[in-house]
């Protein structure tokens, strides 16, 4: 059978259209190696006449449900309002309390395109119909960025290490191994993994348990034990190996949606006397019949590229000089222009002050004290073009011992263009 990647649609999917009389049910227990455990632990059940439908874009569809027997006389299905004809049983799974879990596929492939799948049910209290999930082969144009996927065991995306055997039975195929330290590696994009295989009753000649370990992203490994006893809730017909009892063997925790890596290793057979090593005989094989990726895709490149986020602030300009307080200078044209004009004004005031001071040759000092408002100008010190205005404030008097020159009590305002504040 050709390796395929199929889209999984669980019964709880919002795009499934249910008629009247359907009731949502959940599993009573946690996931385990039990053939009656439903996909994601949910079912939709009806005990009356009703229907359900789902529209998809692809070329092949299969569906799985539970009932009290495998009789198909009380239900039928259509594709694009055309009777589906004969059904080909993909897998029969027998579980507890007389529940039969069936998976069916249509005969032949559908033309690639949009189709409507519909099931018509005439159920009753004594013959309920419980829908579990469907899956279909998507068209190449379908965006898989947010869908759940089912991969067949011969997918080229899987990396098998060690001694794995490709086995088949009617329409079912799987990979299996009994070799210690056989490995399985799979890199995927999603949030969690569901691994389906077969219970030991499918292999009655193998008579003791197998232990394997799996991990995600190299984290702590979890152990998987395939029991060596025959569950009492399985029909005796499974002992001859003609009916395959597929089940969920393990599932990972839910991780943040993204790129992850699954590693599985077969540790060996288990007996009560000698754990985790082989004893004489045949251990239960580790099998893989299908792998489900929840909420993700195996090919990250199919995901739409995230939009570029605008920068919240401009890229800072690196300058080699800082002020004494540690703040950085910013090369701003307006500030430079303002500083230039301010420097010219200060220079003019200084020249005027010197000329006025020379006229007062008879004065013993050049200090000027004014009880009113005054503005002082200091001589250049280090950088003539960038000397700041004197820090003295209005009404303050400077000591006569500071400096040798003073200006006249002339009040000069800075030009309007001398702006030292931040610019938007």
**Per-residue pLDDT at 317:** 33
Residue 119 pLDDT = 93
Q: What is the dihedral of CA 41, 44, 46, 52, to 10 degrees?
A: -150
* pLDDT tens, residue by residue, 48-65: 999 999 999 998 888 988
Q: What is the mean pLDDT of residues 362-391?
A: 42
pLDDT bucket at 375, cuts 50 / 70 / 90: very low
The fraction of the chain above a pLDDT of 70, given in percent, is 54
Mean pLDDT of the chain: 71
Query: What is the band of 141 on the pLDDT scale with cuts at 50, 70, 90?
Result: confident
Q: What are phi and psi of 178, to 5 degrees?
A: -125, 10
Task: Quote the pTM value.
Answer: 0.64
Question: What fold characterizes domain 151-296?
Answer: Jelly Rolls (2.60.120)
Model confidence band, residue 391 (pLDDT cutoffs 50, 70, 90): very low
Distance of alpha carbon 380 from alpha carbon 387, whole angstroms: 7
Sequence-distant (≥ 6) Cβ neighbours of residue 313 within 8 angstroms: none
Do the domains spanning 5-142 and 151-296 agree at the CATH topology level?
Answer: yes
Residue 94 contacts by C-beta under 8 Å, 6 or more apart in sequence? 35, 100, 101, 234, 235, 237, 238, 243, 245
Report the DSSP beta bridge partners of residue 97. none
Q: What is the Cβ-side half-sphere exposure of residue 162, based on CA atoms within 13 angstroms?
A: 17
Confidence of residue 376 (pLDDT cuts 50, 70, 90): very low
d(CA 227, CA 234): 14
Asked if 101 and 244 count as a contact pair (C-beta separation under 8 A), the reply is no
Which pLDDT band, with edges at 50, 70 and 90, does 206 fall under?
low
Correct CATH for 5-142 of 3.30.70.2860, 3.40.1280.10, 2.60.120.260, 3.40.50.300:
2.60.120.260
Asked whether the predicted pLDDT for residue 406 surpasses 50, the reply is no
Domain boundaries, the chain: 5-142, 151-296
């Amino acid at each position: 059978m050709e390796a395929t990647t199929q889209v999984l649609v669980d019964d709880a999917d919002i795009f499934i259209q249910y008629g009247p009389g359907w009731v949502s049910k959940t599993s009573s227990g946690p996931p385990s190696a039990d053939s009656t455990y439903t996909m994601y632990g949910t079912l939709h059940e009806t005990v009356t006449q009703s229907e359900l439908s789902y529209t998809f874009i692809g070329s092949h569809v299969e569906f799985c449900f539970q009932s009290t027997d495998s009789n198909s006389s009380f239900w039928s299905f259509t594709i694009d309002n055309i009777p589906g004809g004969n059904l080909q049983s993909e897998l029969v799974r027998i579980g507890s309390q007389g529940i039969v879990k069936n998976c069916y596929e249509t005969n032949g492939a559908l033309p690639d395109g949009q189709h409507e799948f519909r099931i018509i049910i005439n159920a009753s209290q004594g013959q309920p119909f419980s829908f579990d999930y469907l899956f279909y082969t998507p068209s190449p144009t379908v965006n898989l960025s947010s869908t759940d996927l089912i991969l067949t065991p011969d997918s080229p995306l899987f990396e098998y290490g060690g001694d794995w055997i490709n086995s088949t039975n009617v329409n079912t195929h799987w990979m299996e191994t009994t070799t210690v330290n056989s490995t399985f590696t799979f890199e995927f994009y999603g949030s969690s993994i569901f691994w389906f295989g077969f219970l030991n009753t499918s292999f009655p000649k193998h008579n003791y348990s197998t232990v394997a370990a799996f991990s995600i992203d190299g984290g702590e490994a979890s152990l998987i034990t395939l029991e060596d006893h025959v569950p009492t809730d399985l029909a005796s017909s499974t002992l001859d190996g003609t009916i395959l009892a597929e089940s969920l063997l393990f599932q990972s925790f839910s991780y943040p949606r993204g790129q992850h890596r699954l590693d599985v290793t077969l540790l060996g057979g288990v007996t009560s006397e000698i754990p985790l090593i082989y004893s004489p005989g045949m251990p239960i094989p580790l099998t893989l019949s299908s792998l489900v990726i929840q909420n993700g895709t195996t090919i990250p490149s199919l995901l739409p590229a995230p939009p570029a986020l605008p920068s919240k602030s401009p890229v800072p300009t690196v300058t080699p000089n800082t002020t004494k307080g540690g703040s950085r200078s910013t090369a701003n044209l307006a500030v430079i222009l303002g500083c230039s004009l301010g420097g010219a004004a200060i220079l003019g005031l200084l020249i005027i002050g010197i000329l006025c001071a020379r006229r007062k040759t008879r004065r013993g000092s050049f200090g000027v004290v004014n009880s009113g408002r005054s503005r002082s100008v200091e001589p250049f010190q280090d950088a003539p073009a960038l000397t700041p205005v004197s820090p003295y404030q209005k009404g303050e008097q400077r000591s006569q011992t500071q400096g040798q020159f003073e200006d006249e009590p002339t009040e000069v305002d800075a030009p309007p263009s001398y702006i030292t504040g931040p610019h938007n």
